[in-house]
Structure 1
Amino acid sequence: MISRRIYTGFDLIKLIAAICIIAIHTKAPFLNIVGRLGVPFFAIVSSILFFNHYQRLTKYKKRKDYLLKFCRRIFLLYITWQVIYLPIAVRQWKVIMVSLKGNSFKNMLIYLVDFFFPAVYNSQGVDLTQDANGWGPSWYLLASIIAMPVLIGLLRLFKQHTLPVFIICVVIEVYIILADEFSDWTHLSPIMNHTFLRLLIYFCLGYLIVRYRDPLHSWSKYSVQLLVVCFCLFLVESLIVGHFNGDYNTEEIITTVPTGFLIALVAMNYYPKLHYPVQVRNMSTFLYCFQIWPIVVMRRVFETWGWESRHLILFVVVLLISFVCFFLYEKCRQHFKWHFLRYMV
């Protein structure tokens, strides 16, 4: 089991991952490919930190309480930002009601489902849910709240035998890859991409890292070399998929899981000196959650200027705005001590 320590490597790479995720949504060249490793890294690290404490607990009630604490914290993060995104959610509600042709009870139920699964696409890449709650990145928070209890339930079902649980997670991941990377051949719908099912393999890997820390440590000294090889393969595979499919942003490809796993292993054994690790950690969460507002506003501005194709400039502008707003947030949090501000990170 992993001992208690401050993983500054996690904090630093999470910040880099959050920046690259902004690159996805602003379509910044190259970084938008690297950004596809952001969610896998977030998920594995969250799982490592969760199970590092969870596995220390021996009583069922304490484990249950800790799981509820984990889910409650993420839900408070989600609901706090949901209030901030209400104006966009209202706008999306109007768009969805028009597309569904009226405000009926059935359409309201459809909207409610879309609200909690706000980033689902069909096999043709059409947005089925139209970001119903106003901020597509929220899918990760909602998926985490479901995925962790499901994984723990599977572990309990198989009496802590990891092999059957791992096989189930791999089978789900294989479907996601077939529906995403090979969609032109399989014609499967990538409807799982932004649900808890996509996170199961990564939460499972985090659990395995905690449980099999010692065996993994024996070859972790080779993890940097393995990561370099795997990362290069990930880039090559992404470029090949982009060449044939016309999309360099495929959510899951064959090398996504092993590359994300190796990044987590390297980060776990990397201890950069950070003067303010908590602020770095908070910044990554803030950037991930905050990005949609400046993207929406600046895209409108860029459209009026005729800059629709200047994705790199949009990325830089959104990133600068996000950094400035984070430092303003930190100042407000320190000065006003408002309770709800701590739920934003």
Structure 2
Amino acid sequence: MINTKRDQYQNLLKRKIKLKPGYNKVILSSNKCYIKKQLWGKHDIKLEDPYKQNWIGPLFKHLDQDYTVGELLQNIVPAPKINEALKLILYLKESYIDFIAPDYSKDSKEVELLDWFTTNYRSLIRNHEKLRDLLVNAHVVVLGGGKVGSKLVQSLLQLNLGKVSILENSSDKVTGSLISDHAYQKINSVMLPKEGWVDWIAENKDSISLAVVAIDEFDPQFYDSFNLCAINNSIKWSLLATENSFAYIGPTFIPQQTGCFQCYMMRKSETDKGYSEFIKHLIEEPQAIKPYINPSVVDIAVGYFILNLPYIINDKPQDYISDLTIGRQFQLDFRTNTIRSENLIKYLSCPSCTNAYINRKG
């Protein structure tokens, strides 16, 4: 297959860049920079903007800080200078710059967990700090007061959220033991049987920024009923679950922007008919399977989800870093130390959410 120039350009924007080994940058001002093989010797190349528009220095300052080319051009370089900056990067490519192309955007991709976190953690933190102050009016509802839900609530309390609610039933009895009395007073704790959670969500739909289903058990029937509630009431929601040595982060479902839980199940069933039959059996004969919950796995899953939370709440699915769980699920496998990304629900595909979309447009 022959790549078009547009494909090549898009591929370039997704790559991270850094100076080749042995080269150093010496930033003299916002308009002048040297690239040197020897810090005590003569410079190999001098980069200078004669028009003094203050982009050369900032561009090279951020060169080795885990940015993609697209992020550098969009966030650092003034719009009139983007083409010039891109030409400069291409000019330096042969001798001075290395391009790194870890591509985690394919439908299904496995990479080393350590490599993935090393590559993305700093970018997540950097963007997370920018967005965190925007959460003051957000209301996040956690469904489930077990080990996963309780840990999530603990982490949510550290953010500057407007309101945190948790729906729990008497069988959970975990939330209070994991959270201090002082912190627990900040939570809107709603004690209801699990069967009443969907109705509560529907009644409070106008105030909810995001609902997170974080129950310890595997319960497809509940997922299905909550999904219909979310579709009918335009509620944005995410899945968060762990079992044994696995963590499942996402998908995040956004009404009229992504597919829904049914789309997700349809996509999974396309490649595994046995899985489809298993889910159908659980729904027809209601039962919730309770897997072993590993606290260490829960900690990592919740931490990862929290980093993505500001993007979800602020509706930025188009951003590079923010696209972590929107329309996709990340599966962490701690037996083999790998992470698997699946783009499962980028588009509306099942009758339920498609009809809801048509009705709203109509």
Q: Which has the higher contact order (CA 8 A, sep 6+)?
A: 1
Class of the TM-score when normalised by the shorter of the 2 chains: under 0.3
Which is richer in helix? 1
Q: Highest CA radius of gyration, 1 or 2?
A: 2
Name whichever structure is richer in strand by fraction: 2
Please give the TM-score of this superposition, normalised by the length of structure 1: 0.23
The TM-score with structure 2 as length reference comes to 0.22
